[in-house]
């Protein structure tokens, strides 16, 4: 048994490019450490093992580097593993193999930072070949497109180029050798859509003919456990050790700061892109795992100057920030002596100041009647502290603002901001005579001027849907106070503003805090390490506003259109036009019932045969598949890597690509046919059934993929082919990867019909999808019972997914999670092939472009597929002439 498990572990590691040689010793150690508890090792696709191996490798490299300078402090063989970095396994498992080309994410980043300036030309030629099969089609029908969609139509998959499929995976071989079909779809396939528009035609509700409201969009994903894509280097990106796990209760040692589980990434690691969010599975860690992050101060010889941010951290004694690169506690403890960490006299102009002024003037209003100064408490236990050169400080903070807070204004000047702050303070102060009498002003109550600041967004302050500004949560009364000292109270005399942040050593109070207190405070700061807003604790910045900007409420957060609803951030870029944003919509990560849709979610309805209450841990690691595998023929649909199994995926894809009539269910009285026209058929689809709340397994069970949400890096972008906004991946995705679920309002057909009647008909894009995958098992479904999802007003990132005829990069698979009857289910998208970073993610809506009677005209298809069904129609039209 052990041998078998070991072989499986070795295989799993091989799949991510780790040799058996590297696996075995680490595996042995882990087994010892875990008391041979295999399930802990197998969990999350051997995440712990992968982490330990990578950690070992890192340490080896580190040690090699350091061996000449100093003896290494820690190795896996010596002291027991203290921390295993929780590398983003998604990267390992999702990228599948090291042979993936490096995603050109830098360009996406760049595009994000400078949205409209230039268009990224990201891919290598081979890569590009794969993507750019979209030649705009010039002979398609003109006019407005309004038609729902549904998958099918058959064609060749000739755009799979062997040279591009170099994963060494037999699945690919299969993909390449599978017979190419180019038959034309017979039979109705999925014609449903919005027949709801009263006319005689039936229209399948599979997503989209264009019919309702203008587009908006959204999305999300999953496993990105606190890691990041490395940009700027030629090496394949690899998750950085943004998080670590103590296998045993960590010992807090001097200089080692334990940080709460969440927010461990330093903002600057995010590169402005898909910053991983807080760890959603933290609760699932076995109790002995204590995720922590540690910031290691610079190693001996390294000065803070090398990195302005690091320098700033040092100069403010802010040891709490984690940079995500630094690994082990033992290293930390050796290097954590602050005196050594920050050397003065560096190229960053640290100035030795022999005197120790108690305050540090930064800026003043034009007449000098208001001043901003930082008060530095010399008694705070840092005798080595030297007042740094102001220019260097300003430069460091400006750099930080530009990089970490995405202040896009290249001429951004902190000094100017400070001066404006003085001015505002003066203005606000003189508006209220009372306020000048106060010696202590809570800035949170007086910061109305921030409402006008365009910088508020750059610094994380958010507006709500009504356009109301609200202060960032991190900016509380205690965290930021504007002081005017007593001696400045009298009107007319110069005033000094003291910015008190959480940094105790900058406290005006001057009370020295003990080292343990500082540690606690630093811990608190660390919790904010990943929060750009946290900087507001010690600094408030505003700029005079362009009133036109103030009036326009930003309708999307381009750094995360999900507004924090997903586990990963989903950025939005426009590299091609001046159309700034997609139209507004509400981002929801899960389906919500609009009004009458009846979705019966109740534990009582889930029988023993529909759950696995006796399971524990990961159902996929059990030798006998549990009850939850029953619906998929006694075998789980997912592999241990979290991908949909080859066979299952092949069958799902072929259903769409070869939608024979026998694969359809034909209603006697189809709810979609409002005028008793014959049913056009509903594809009877294969379902995945996931474990759920009534199951005994953990949330990290391998049979829970879709319910964990988006895990890959996605981006909404404006397509250049005229399809509007689209969705693309920022990382390589192996075949069978879960990308996202289609989320929207759950409507009955009646409701959708009424909604469509109310629509103006001028909408550019439509977003309804019919949930008809299991209609075959329902006896005579009534109109008001048939359900669909409409992402027009409320939806997730899937609403941006464009259509591609036949060879789309994704296929939708119905997934049963909380309701056993399949009347309601989740519609999840999985990749149909290996998809490279920056490729567009598409699915075949199943639109019947030949259906000229459809009340809603199909959009003119610009999918660029060689099997474009709209293209053929146009060809025929041409030849008839």
Which residues contact ligand SAM (rule: CB under 6 A)?
145, 207-208, 210, 215, 217, 582, 723-726, 764-767, 799-800, 802-803, 859, 861-863
Among left, alpha and beta (phi > 0; psi -120 to 50; other), residue 245 is beta
Report the distance separating Cα 528 and Cα 539, nearest Å.
14
Cβ of residue 766: shortest distance to ligand SAM, in angstroms? 5
Cβ of residue 875: shortest distance to ligand SAM, in angstroms? 17
Report the distance separating Cα 368 and Cα 590, nearest Å.
55
What values do phi and psi take at 860, rounded to 5?
Answer: -75, 120
Q: Which of 658, 679, 653, 690 is nearest to 808 (CA)?
A: 653
Return the H-helix or E-strand segment holding 244: strand 244-246
Q: Report the residue number whose CB is nearest to ligand SAM.
A: 215
Cβ of residue 103: shortest distance to ligand SAM, in angstroms? 23
What tokens appear for 848 in the block?
A: 């019947």
Minimum CB distance to ligand SAM smaller for 683 or for 863? 863
Minimum CB distance to ligand SAM smaller for 212 or for 330? 212
Minimum CB distance to ligand SAM smaller for 244 or for 723? 723
Q: Which of 586, 614, 867, 852 is nearest to 743 (CA)?
A: 586
CB 89 within 8 A of CB 223: yes
- Which residues are CB-neighbours of 707 under 8 A, at least 6 positions away? 690, 692, 817, 826
Minimum CB distance to ligand SAM smaller for 344 or for 766? 766
Cβ of residue 863: shortest distance to ligand SAM, in angstroms? 4
CB 264 within 8 A of CB 293: yes
Cβ of residue 448: shortest distance to ligand SAM, in angstroms? 36
Minimum CB distance to ligand SAM smaller for 289 or for 870? 870
Cβ of residue 854: shortest distance to ligand SAM, in angstroms? 13
Minimum CB distance to ligand SAM smaller for 663 or for 723? 723
Alpha helices in 565-616 (DSSP H): none
Minimum CB distance to ligand SAM smaller for 144 or for 660? 144
CB 566 within 8 A of CB 710: yes
What tokens appear for 456 in the block?
A: 């508020």
Cβ of residue 728: shortest distance to ligand SAM, in angstroms? 12
Minimum CB distance to ligand SAM smaller for 627 or for 808? 808
What are the E-state strand segments in 427-542?
Answer: 440-442, 462-463, 469-470, 481-484, 495-500
Minimum CB distance to ligand SAM smaller for 618 or for 831? 831
Minimum CB distance to ligand SAM smaller for 449 or for 862? 862
Report the distance separating Cα 96 and Cα 755, nearest Å.
44
Report the distance separating Cα 828 and Cα 705, nearest Å.
10
Cβ of residue 230: shortest distance to ligand SAM, in angstroms? 31
Minimum CB distance to ligand SAM smaller for 636 or for 753? 753
Q: Which of 265, 336, 315, 320 is nearest to 519 (CA)?
A: 320
Cβ of residue 805: shortest distance to ligand SAM, in angstroms? 8
Minimum CB distance to ligand SAM smaller for 258 or for 718? 718
Cβ of residue 800: shortest distance to ligand SAM, in angstroms? 5
Cβ of residue 658: shortest distance to ligand SAM, in angstroms? 21
Bridge-partner residues for 84, per DSSP?
Answer: 245
Cβ of residue 822: shortest distance to ligand SAM, in angstroms? 24
Minimum CB distance to ligand SAM smaller for 723 or for 823? 723
Report the distance separating Cα 364 and Cα 370, nearest Å.
5
Task: Provide long-range contacts, Cβ within 8 A and 24+ apart, for 257-260.
Answer: 257/294, 257/295, 257/319, 257/320, 257/519, 257/522, 257/523, 257/526, 258/290, 258/292, 258/294, 258/523, 259/292, 259/293, 259/294, 259/320, 259/322, 259/523, 259/526, 259/527, 259/529, 260/523, 260/526, 260/527
Report the distance separating Cα 140 and Cα 131, nearest Å.
21
Q: In what order do the strands lie in the sheet with 290-292?
A: 83-85, 244-246, 290-292
Report the distance separating Cα 204 and Cα 412, nearest Å.
53
Cβ of residue 332: shortest distance to ligand SAM, in angstroms? 48
Cβ of residue 767: shortest distance to ligand SAM, in angstroms? 5
- Which residues are CB-neighbours of 21 under 8 A, at least 6 positions away? none
Around Cβ 363, how many Cβ atoms within 10 Å?
21
Cβ of residue 802: shortest distance to ligand SAM, in angstroms? 3
Around Cβ 282, how many Cβ atoms within 10 Å?
14
Minimum CB distance to ligand SAM smaller for 44 or for 210? 210
The string of DSSP letters for 852-877 reads TT-SSPPPPP----TT-HHHHHHHHH
Minimum CB distance to ligand SAM smaller for 76 or for 798? 798
Report the distance separating Cα 370 and Cα 421, nearest Å.
9
Minimum CB distance to ligand SAM smaller for 239 or for 740? 740
Cβ of residue 837: shortest distance to ligand SAM, in angstroms? 20
First to last CA, the chain: 71
**Which residue matches tokens 């500004």?**
469
């Amino acid at each position: 048994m052990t041998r078998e498990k070991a072989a499986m572990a070795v295989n799993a590691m091989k799949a991510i490019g780790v040799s058996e040689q590297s696996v075995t010793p680490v595996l042995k150690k882990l087994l010892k450490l875990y008391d041979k508890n295999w399930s802990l090792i197998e969990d999350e696709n051997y995440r712990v093992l992968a982490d330990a191996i990578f950690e070992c490798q890192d340490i080896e490299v580190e040690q090699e580097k350091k061996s000449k300078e100093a003896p290494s402090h820690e190795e896996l063989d010596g002291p027991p593993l203290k921390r295993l970095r929780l590398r983003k396994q998604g990267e390992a498992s999702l990228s599948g193999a090291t042979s993936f080309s490096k995603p050109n994410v830098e360009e996406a980043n760049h595009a994000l930072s400078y949205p409209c300036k230039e268009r990224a030309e990201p891919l290598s030629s081979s890569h590009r070949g794969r993507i750019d099969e979209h030649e705009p089609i010039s002979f398609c029908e003109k006019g407005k497109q309004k038609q729902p969609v549904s998958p099918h139509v058959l064609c060749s998959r000739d755009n799979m180029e062997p040279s591009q499929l170099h994963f060494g995976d037999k699945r690919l071989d299969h993909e390449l050798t599978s017979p190419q079909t180019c038959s034309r779809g017979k039979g109705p396939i999925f014609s449903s859509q919005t027949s709801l528009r009263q006319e005689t035609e039936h229209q399948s509700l599979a997503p989209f003919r264009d019919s309702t409201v203008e587009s908006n969009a959204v999305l999300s994903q999953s496993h990105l456990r606190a890691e990041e894509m490395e940009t700027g280097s030629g090496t394949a990106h690899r998750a950085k050790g943004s998080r670590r796990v103590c296998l045993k209760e960590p010992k807090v040692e001097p200089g080692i700061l334990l940080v709460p589980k969440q927010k461990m990434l330093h903002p600057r690691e995010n590169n402005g892109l898909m910053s991983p969010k807080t760890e959603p599975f933290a609760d699932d860690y076995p109790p002995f795992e204590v995720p922590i992050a540690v910031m290691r101060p610079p190693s001996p010889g390294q000065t803070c100057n090398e990195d302005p941010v690091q320098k700033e951290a040092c100069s403010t004694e802010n040891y709490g920030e984690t940079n995500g690169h630094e690994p082990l506690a033992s290293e930390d403890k050796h290097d954590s002596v602050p005196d050594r960490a920050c050397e003065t006299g560096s190229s960053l102009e640290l100035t030795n100041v022999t005197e120790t002024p108690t305050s540090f003037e930064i800026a003043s209003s034009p007449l000098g009647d208001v001043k901003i100064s930082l008060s530095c408490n010399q008694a705070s236990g840092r005798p080595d502290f030297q007042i740094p050169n102001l220019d260097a400080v300003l430069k460091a903070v400006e750099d930080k603002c530009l990089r970490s807070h995405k202040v896009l204004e290249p001429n951004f000047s902190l000094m100017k901001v400070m001066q404006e702050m003085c001015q505002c303070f003066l203005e606000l102060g003189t508006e209220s005579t009372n306020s000048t009498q106060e010696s202590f002003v809570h800035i949170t109550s007086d910061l109305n001027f921030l409402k006008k600041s365009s910088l508020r967004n750059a610094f994380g302050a958010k507006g709500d849907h009504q356009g109301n500004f609200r202060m960032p949560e991190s900016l509380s009364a205690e965290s930021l106070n504007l002081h005017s000292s007593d001696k400045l109270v009298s009107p007319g005399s110069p005033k000094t503003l003291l910015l008190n942040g959480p940094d105790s050593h900058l406290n005006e109070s001057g009370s020295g805090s003990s080292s343990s207190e500082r540690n606690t405070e630093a811990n608190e700061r660390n919790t904010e390490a990943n929060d750009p807003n946290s900087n507001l604790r010690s600094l408030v910045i505003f700029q005079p506003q362009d009133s036109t900007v103030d009036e326009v409420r930003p309708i999307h957060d381009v750094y995360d259109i999900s507004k924090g609803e997903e586990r990963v951030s989903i950025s939005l870029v426009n590299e091609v036009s001046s159309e700034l944003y997609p139209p507004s919509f509400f981002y929801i990560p899960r389906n919500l019932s609009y009004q009458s849709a009846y979705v019966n979610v109740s534990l009582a309805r889930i029988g023993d045969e529909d759950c696995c209450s006796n399971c524990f841990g990961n159902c996929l690691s059990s030798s006998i598949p549990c009850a939850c595998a029953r619906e998929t023929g006694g075998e789980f649909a997912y592999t241990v890597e979290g991908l949909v199994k080859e066979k299952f995926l092949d069958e799902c894809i072929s259903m769409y690509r070869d939608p024979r009539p026998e694969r359809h269910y034909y209603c006697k009285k189809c709810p979609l046919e409002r005028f008793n026209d014959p049913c056009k058929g509903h594809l009877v689809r294969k379902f995945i059934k996931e474990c759920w709340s009534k199951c005994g397994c953990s949330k990290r069970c391998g049979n829970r993929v879709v319910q964990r949400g988006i895990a890959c890096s996605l981006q909404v972008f404006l397509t250049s082919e005229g399809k509007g906004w689209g969705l693309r991946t920022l990382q390589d995705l192996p075949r069978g990867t879960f990308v996202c679920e289609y989320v929207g309002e759950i409507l009955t057909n009646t409701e959708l019909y009424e909604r469509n009647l109310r629509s103006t008909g001028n909408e550019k894009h439509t977003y309804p999808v019919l949930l008809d995958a299991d209609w075959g098992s329902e006896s005579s479904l009534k109109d008001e019972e048939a359900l669909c999802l409409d992402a027009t007003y409320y939806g997730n990132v899937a609403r941006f997914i464009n259509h591609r005829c036949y060879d789309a990069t994704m296929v939708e698979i119905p997934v049963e999670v909380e309701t056993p009857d399949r009347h309601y289910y989740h519609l999840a998208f999985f990749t149909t092939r290996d998809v490279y970073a920056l490729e567009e993610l598409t699915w075949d809506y199943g639109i019947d472009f030949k259906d000229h009677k459809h009340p809603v005209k199909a959009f003119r298809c610009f999918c660029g597929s060689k099997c474009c069904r709209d293209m053929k129609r146009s060809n025929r039209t041409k030849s008839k002439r």
